[in-house]
Amino acid sequence: MYLADSGIWTYRGDEDLKLALADVAADHQNFIARAETILSEEDVELPQSGFPLSYTGWHDVDLGFLLDRVIDDLGRRRADVTVLMERADAVAGDGGQASGRTAELAREIRAAIEGHLDLLRQQQQRLAGRSAAGPLSAGA
């Protein structure tokens, strides 16, 4: 998300991985916008968000290097979203309309995260297979 929000230019490289990560970030930006709509309609003050200063050091790192971290982070987010979904389902069962929409959004986010994890693990396997094959010869 930091790389997408900051608009940092990237060097040519693994376009498949770059596009996969861009798709993940776009989906999450959409989910954030939808969550903001639900919170705003309920007159809930939106939390302030930003990126830690330490993220500025990650803009010059190979995306393949970041892939393990992204996968780990998505795994943690999946667990957090599952808890949110269960809480929202409980409140929605008591007649809370916003909680019903929250639970629905949380279910959609969790399903998307599962798809993102599958996609990124495939990218991880592809990169591992490529590195196991060794460097390309000069004639290739």
Tell me the mean pLDDT in the region 68-86: 93
Contact predicate 78/22, CB 8 Å: no
CB half-sphere exposure, 50, CA atoms < 13 A: 5
pLDDT exceeds cutoff 70 at 136: no
Contact predicate 81/106, CB 8 Å: yes
Contact predicate 13/62, CB 8 Å: yes
pLDDT score at 138? 44
pLDDT score at 41? 87
Note the pLDDT tens digit of each residue in 79-132.
999 998 888 888 876 665 667 888 899 999 999 999 999 999 999 999 888 877
If phi > 0 it is left, if psi is from -120 to 50 it is alpha, else beta; for residue 100 that is: alpha
pLDDT score at 78? 95
Note the pLDDT tens digit of each residue in 17-67.
888 988 999 999 999 999 999 888 888 888 787 777 777 776 667 788 889
pTM: 0.80
pLDDT exceeds cutoff 70 at 9: no
Residue partners of 107: CB distance under 8 A and separation at least 6: 85
